[in-house]
Structure 1
Amino acid sequence: MSRTFDMEVFLAGVLTGSHATRKRHLRQAKIIQAEIVARWQRVTPWTWQRKHLAWFLEHHLSQRSEATRYYYLLTIRLLAQSLQTSWVFKLKGI
């Protein structure tokens, strides 16, 4: 039996803020996950490497506004925090 990965459970320990903020982070984390699955076939965050998230920031969001990239950066930082890694991400131009 195959079960789908539940991003909400994965981020539950690090999500804070208002209901709308938590929903935005969940929505963005699912988008990040879908793009990484499509590109590298890595389904769960435990199989991700720093390069996967860096690729998402640099290439997938390259044509997005600065504000959109910033909000995705916040979500990626939450993902890294939930993975208990020391990965540091910055946006060029911010």
Structure 2
Amino acid sequence: MSKLFDMELFLAGVLSGSHATRQRHLRQSQTIQNKIALRWKRTTPWAWQRKHLIWFIEHCLARHDDATRYYYLLTIRLLARRLDTSWTFNLRLKCDSDNDERKQPTES
């Protein structure tokens, strides 16, 4: 039986913030790791490619709220920083002002 990858040890050098923030990053990174391991059979972040994380964003977070996707994006950026890669990830989030355009009808 192989030893499980320790995500907490992996992220220890780049985690900062409050205890709750660190726990959220750890929980989310373990979720990301599990999903990628199930789909791609890549069990450690060292084996991941950018396409694996993009797949996670597009397929696993598709039905989630914008706020949830944003927090996962922060964790993914943290993982990319720890891997010392030049990967960039942009998540187009809709602002409330974009959805709530209250244009007054024009009178003719």
Per the shorter chain, which TM-score range? over 0.9
TM-fit CA distance, 1:62: 0.6
Which residue matches 2:81?
81
What is the alpha-carbon distance in structure 1 between the residues aligned to residue 93 and residue 76 of structure 2? Answer: 17
What is the alpha-carbon distance in structure 2 between the residues aligned to residue 59 and residue 73 of structure 1? Answer: 14
RMSD between superposed Cα atoms in Å: 1.0
Alignment of 1:1-94 (within 5 A): 2-94=2-94
Bigger radius of gyration among the two: 2
Task: Encode CA deviations 1:51-72: one digit per residue, 9 max, x unaligned.
Answer: 0001111111010000000000
Question: Number of aligned pairs?
Answer: 94
Task: Encode CA deviations 1:5-35: one digit per residue, 9 max, x unaligned.
Answer: 0000000000000000000000000000000
Aligned AA (1:8):
E
What is the alpha-carbon distance in structure 1 between the residues aligned to residue 43 and residue 63 of structure 2? Answer: 25
Higher helix share: 1
What is the alpha-carbon distance in structure 1 between the residues aligned to residue 17 and residue 74 of structure 2? Answer: 12
Give the 4+ runs in structure 1 shifted more than 6 A: none
Aligned AA (1:44):
T
Q: Percent identity?
A: 67
TM-score, normalised to structure 2's length? 0.84
Unaligned runs of 5+ in 1: none
Unaligned runs of 5+ in 2: 95-108
